[in-house]
Structure 1
Amino acid sequence: MDNGVFEPTTIGMPQGGVFFPLLANIALNSLDWHLDEHGLRFVCYADDFVVMCRSHT
């Protein structure tokens, strides 16, 4: 939306595209590996990540 006028997206990957989860898994595989290597607990789906940690604050 630009100045209150809707403009359709013409670039990038469409939401709900069938290939996006696969591409995200390929691109973010090293992040998964590093989190797991350091013993961090995490949940991920496509490009959404939740990293769980304990805080002493």
Structure 2
Amino acid sequence: MKIEETLQITVPPATKKSLKMLAAESGDSMRVIVLRALAAAGVQVPDGELHDRRKVK
């Protein structure tokens, strides 16, 4: 069983809007975009978590 932790942050409205726009343009979830950015900053993120878990329709 995979256990996940909840991380809740507060960001400026412009940051959230930019993230939402990037997600819409790329087709990736905001979660994936943030995890990729964290990995690029040197934060440990398991490789299996860097893909979109939403179901393909």
Whether TM exceeds 0.5 here: the answer is no
Structure of higher CA gyration radius: 1
TM-score by length of structure 1 reads: 0.30
User: Which structure shows the bigger proportion of residues in strand conformation?
Assistant: 1
TM-score by length of structure 2 reads: 0.30
